[in-house]
Amino acid sequence: MEYEAFVQRACGKKSDFEASLKQMKRMPDQQVDKLFHAAHQSAFATIDCLTCAFCCTYVGPRITLPDIRRISKALRLREADFERTYLKIDEDGDFVFRSMPCPFLLPDKKCLIYDDRPKACREYPHTDRKKMKQLFKLTLTNSACCPAVEHVLDELGSKCK
């Protein structure tokens, strides 16, 4: 799947996704979490991240200080050298990768630092978290970057009709 075609398709669904999320705001929190978690399981039963890697190619994660410590240690680099080589500070004051695609994305779409990857990568796309209502804005944003999130919102939309 081509990224640009995916983004165009997903953006075309944005108003439907917004309507579904608006309806879900009226539901009890636990019910919303249960629906999201079931849709998340369904999405990842059919979607293999290793055939996609859009997030690793186009969406840079926020890198925390614990991430820097863990990744530097795994790469056997001094933290300062890791920061200088791989990171920059973005407009929000957060560490992010200096360039995308991720410098640790291998040609086969596997991650060179998978066991030590940033927390944001571990949790992405965040559709299986608790208190999903708090993540509606992020989920809507991620629907234009991640086929799994699009799948989740498509499934939830069919249940909200």
24 to each of 34, 59, 136, 139, how far by Cα in Å?
A: 12, 26, 10, 13
DSSP-based three-state secondary structure for 63:
strand
- Collect all residues with Cβ–Cβ distance below 8 Å to 32 and sequence separation of at least 6: 24, 132, 133
Quick one: 58 exposed, middle or buried, by C-beta within 10 A (0-12, 13-18, 19+)? middle
Question: What's the confidence (pLDDT) of residue 1?
Answer: 61
pLDDT given at position 141: 92
How far, in Å, CA of 156 to CA of 161, rounded?
Answer: 9
Q: State the pLDDT confidence band at 111, using cuts at 50, 70 and 90.
A: very high
- Token reading at 63: 């890198």
Calculate mean pLDDT across residues 74-98.
97
- Output the pLDDT for position 6: 82
Instruction: Say yes or no to pLDDT of 159 above 80.
Output: no
**pLDDT, mean of residues 129-149:** 94
Record the pTM: 0.87
- What's residue 11's pLDDT? 81
pLDDT band at residue 128 under the 50/70/90 scheme: very high
Express each pLDDT in 8-65 by its tens digit: 888 889 999 999 999 999 999 999 999 999 999 999 999 888 889 999 999 889 999 9
- Buried b vs exposed e over 1-21: b needs ≥16 C-beta within 10 Å? eeeeebeeebeebeeebeebb
146 alpha carbon, distance to own chain's centre: 7
Instruction: Tell me the Cα Rg of the chain.
Output: 17
Q: What is the mean pLDDT of residues 104-110?
A: 94
Q: Max CA-CA distance within the chain?
A: 54
pLDDT band at 161 (very low <50, low <70, confident <90, very high): low
